[in-house]
A and B are shown apart, each in its own frame.
Chain A
Amino acid sequence: MPTVKSPRAAQGAPPRATDPEPPVRSDDSHARNVRPGFLVKLVLIGIIDAVGVYCVLAAWNAQAYWILAAMLVLLVAANWVYFTRRALALKYILPGLAFLLVFQIFVVFYTGFVAFTNYGDGHNGTKQQAVDALLVQDEKRVDGSPAYPLTVVEQGATLGFAVIDPDGAALVGSADEPLAPDSSATVESNRITAVDGWTVLSRQEILAQQQAITALRVPISDDAADGSIRTQDARVGYVFKSVLTYDPDAGTMTDAETGLVYSPNSHGQFQAPDGSVLPVGWRVSVGFENFTTAFSDARYAKPFVQILVWTFAFAILSVVTTFLLGLFLAMTFNDARMRGRKVYRMLMILPYAIPGFVAALLWSGMLNRRFGLINNLFFGGAEIPWLTDPWLAKFSVLFVNLWLGFPYMFLICTGALQSLPGDVMEAAKIDGAGRWRTWRSVIMPLLLVSTAPLLISSFAFNFNNFTLIYMLTGGGPQFADASVPLGHTDILISMVYSISGIDGGAPKNYGLASALSIVIFVIVGGISAIAFRQTRKLEEIN
């Protein structure tokens, strides 16, 4: 791309390139003002182009054509945006947007893609991988067969094995030629060190071809049914036999013992006419199946309603409690005359300074009914079941989340209070408004306008606050009447973990999990979009 850059820079009046609307100014002063900035820009774009071209070439070399395409698009976009006189807003948005597209939008689309597959336990890889795995699992050592000390040999490009049979005779063979006695072999300490017509491979040579060597099967006789020698460590060989054979042309597996032919079914598994399937499958697209199964399991119907209600209650109450406490504290410490505010403020953000999972683990220990510090210190050793009573557990979850979340709100509100226009305050003061009235009718509405979007995202964050629930209560206490492992503090996202087996309680099903997370996203995103609409109205009113 640098080629694009230089002619443009030469040809187009550089000073004006960065400013689209210079109505009344002499070219002189304008140019003087802009030149240093423009040089910086040239250098930056130059660097970006250099890196970008390198990446494009690297992608070409690695044959990663989709990355190549994405890189090219990004690069062209960057050059266009920064050298056109238009797209002023994009000049400011593009850097963040690029990262957003690559690392966030991609994730969303990829999850959407997985939602239509059966990716999960038993359908973990490609069909080829499944075939390989089935064949390797099926190939078994012939019972009671001896171990053959083995040497890897080579004849031209043909690999072979030279082995010593239990009688002490030396045998040599390759994939096409079954083992046959070879009297020319030199045997030293139970290992063949030389054979006429074959080169014995050194350790290094063996390692260089190890995939070919582990794949090599040397039949022990003309009858393939007798099995063949293979080795896993290039030191010892054993006789192996397979029952399954794969026909790459037909794409089917045949079981030599039962004669059953397994062909691929629509769910990414090999299926025989009698309905039996082979254990390892592969990923295929299953259409909308994940979305329908998600809503057809009757066992989840009843807990689902309870969990949905609690999820909303939890998310809303978490936002309200943390916001009110954070706001209250922010206002409390917002008096210039107060001494020690720095210390107060610093200690106040302590809960926010430790990683969330540490806090959840800490609290689950402190809330233990018998040994927890809370009961022992504040309740005189009373055994209050903070985490095991359905209502108390809900309260505890909210309380711990309040502890975790109020510093964030405190920071936000402290910042927001700083930006309140001073003249509003003056006006309120002149009106003779009391403290409470100033707060309610002046500060609160103004604060809400600037913080509402953050409150909405905080709602969405808590809606999906899996870490807290998982680390604190694990969703417990269990519903006594449900037939699925869900509990009173489970929220939608932890229910998804449970249904799709990501928590280990069932076979993992990433396809189902993706489908459900899209459903959740639609719920949260929809509600939030509506809420944003409302806040815009709020903004307009003010």
Chain B
Amino acid sequence: MSTTAPARASSARPRRGSMSFGRWFSELGWRHVVGVLAIVFAAFPLVYLVAASLHEKGSLTDLFGPVSTANYSALSSTMFWTWMGNSVVIAVATSIGTVLMGAAAAYAFSRYRFSGRRVGLTSLLIIQMFPQMLAFVAIFLLLISLGDVIPALGLNSKVALICVYLGGALGVNTFLMYGFFNTVPRELDEAAKIDGATHAQIYWTIILRLVAPVLAVVGLLSFISTFGEFIIARSVLQSEDNWTLAVGLYGWVSSLLEANWGLFAAGAVIATLPVLALFLYLQKYIVGGLTAGAVKG
């Protein structure tokens, strides 16, 4: 379905019988070569991580030892799976919230003309550029005060952490979606409006469906960045049973002297799985599907 430039351009050329190897290579074969190289580049350090996780003594320097799954089974005697659960809950909630709020804002910026629109859009991006090095001081104070009023928003609360992450829902992601919304022709809105649809109906039933790919991308990006974030999570989530995976993993190696590389490596390997699963699930939305053809109307 995904038919874009090189594909179209080449497939449209006159065909002479079945493809020769040379032709196949120049059109498709080289892509596999690039693909394999890229995978080696991307995955090679992780193979190293997997090797470390299978090493009995667990060290990041000495890889070739007796293979054992001891590190993986040892994970269940730690809080690892609790952290995994926390991470998944927090990341899912954050990414859903980010998609909903970001898409709504992007829609407004794309479809309505109001004063301060340009400035607002640019400010969203620029405000995110503030160096976050001291954020923990302010967030800490804010949550202490909020927690006295609404316990669920206090320190050591997952809800509070999700809220902090949602503070960044408008930003780069909004911009990404804004660009995508702009590619959806306005004539669609107009037509629907004439048919008597309200702006809410247009938004929920027409536009959102058309921009599904970018929603999937933003959801994934938001999930990944939340999943790996540990600086804010570490200062907000105080007790071990509330930690996220990144905080917990960091704890295993933060002290060089008591570093547990074996557990750490095994944990890090498993930590990639939710991200991969989500990507696998979202891939069909991200690439393919509702693109050019549907929009053309």
> A residues within 8 Å of B by Cβ?
18-19, 25, 29-30, 33-34, 37, 55, 58-59, 62, 64, 66-67, 88-93, 95-97, 99-100, 102-108, 110-111, 114, 328-329, 331-338, 340-342, 344-359, 361-363, 365-366, 368, 371, 373, 403, 406-408, 411-412, 414-423, 425-426, 428-429, 433, 435, 438-439, 442-443, 449-451, 453-454, 456-457, 460-461, 463-464, 466-467, 493, 496-497, 502, 510, 513-514, 517, 520-521, 524-525, 528-529, 532, 536
- In the assembled complex, which residues on chain B have CB atoms less than 8 Å from the CB atom of A525? 126, 129-130
Complex interface bits, B230-273 against A, C-beta within 8 A gives 1, otherwise 0: 11000000000000011001100100000000001000100110
Of the A-B pairs whose beta carbons lie under 8 Å apart in the complex, a sample of 14, sorted by A's number, is A64-B148, A328-B34, A335-B27, A335-B28, A344-B38, A348-B39, A355-B249, A358-B249, A362-B48, A365-B61, A416-B179, A439-B5, A443-B5, A464-B129
Query: Which A residues lie within 8 Å of B17 (CB)?
Result: none
- CB < 8 Å neighbour of A336 from B3, B39, B128: B3
* Of the residues B134, B148, B174, contact of A513 by C-beta under 8 Å: B134
- In the bound complex, what is the Cα–Cα distance between A350 and B228 (angstroms)? 13
Q: Which of B38, B125, B253, B286 contacts A329 (CB 8 A)?
A: B38
A99 in contact with B7 given A415-B213, A422-B293, A450-B179 (CB within 8 Å): no
Chain A residues whose C-beta falls within 8 Å of the C-beta of B132 in the assembled complex = 107, 464
Among candidates A58, A108, A357, A453, residue contacting B179 with C-beta atoms closer than 8 Å: A453
CA distance A361 to B114 in the complex (A): 47
**A interface, over-half SS:** helix
Binds A, one of B66-74, B76-84, B191-199: B191-199
Q: Which residue of A lies closest to B128 (CB)?
A: A457
Highest count of chain B CB atoms <10 Å: which of A335, A421, A513: A335
Residue from B60, B169, B196 in contact with A30 in the complex, judged by beta carbons closer than 8 Å = B196
Q: Which of B27, B133, B228 contacts A356 (CB 8 A)?
A: B228
Q: Among B11, B46, B112, B141, which residue has its beta carbon within 8 angstroms of that of A350?
A: B46
- Cα–Cα, bound, A357→B247 (Å): 11
Given the complex, which residues of A lie within 8 Å of B34, measured CB to CB?
328-329, 332
| Contacts known (A100-B169, A337-B11, A354-B271); A415 close to B102, Cβ less than 8 A | no
1/0 per position for B138-155, CB-CB distance to A under 8 A?
Answer: 110110011011100000
B21 at interface, CB cutoff 8 A: no
Q: How large is the interface on B (under 10, 10 to 19, 20 to 34, 35 or more residues)?
A: 35 or more
Nearest chain A residue, comparing its CB with the CB of B203: A92
How many Å from the CB of B172 to the closest CB on chain A? 5
Q: How far is the CA of A412 from the CA of B12 in the complex (A)?
A: 27
Report if B166 contacts A (CB, 8 A): yes
B241 to chain A, nearest CB (A): 20
Partner of B167 from A100, A373, A457 at Cβ < 8 Å: A100
Q: Give the docked Cα–Cα distance between A99 and B98 (Å).
A: 11
Beyond A37-B200, A345-B287, list 13 extra A-B contacts (CB 8 Å).
A59-B149, A88-B199, A103-B163, A354-B272, A357-B230, A362-B45, A366-B48, A407-B42, A408-B221, A415-B214, A419-B214, A422-B4, A449-B179
- Chain B residue nearest to A108 (CB atoms) is B130
Q: Give chain B's interface secondary structure class.
A: helix
Q: Which residue of B lies closest to A524 (CB)?
A: B129
Give, as a whole number of angstroms, the nearest-CB distance from B90 to chain A. Answer: 14
- Are B149's CB and A517's CB within 8 A? no
Judge whether B93 is part of the interface by a CB distance below 8 angstroms. Answer: no
Asked if B135 is an interface residue, CB under 8 A from chain A, the answer is yes
A interface footprint on B103-141 (CB within 8 Å = 1, 0 otherwise)? 011011100101001101010111111111111011101
With contacts A104-B168, A403-B45 taken as known, whether A418 is within 8 angstroms of B133 at the C-beta atoms is: no
- Assess whether B101 is interfacial by the CB under 8 Å rule: yes
Q: Given A96-B101, A354-B271, A336–B224 Cβ distance below 8 Å?
A: no
**CB distance A497 to B167 under 8 Å?**
no
CA A514 to CA B137, docked complex, whole Å: 10
Q: In the complex, what distance in Å separates the CA atom of A351 from the CA atom of B117?
A: 36
| Bound-state Cα–Cα, A442 to B200, Å | 35
Closest to A371 in B: B61
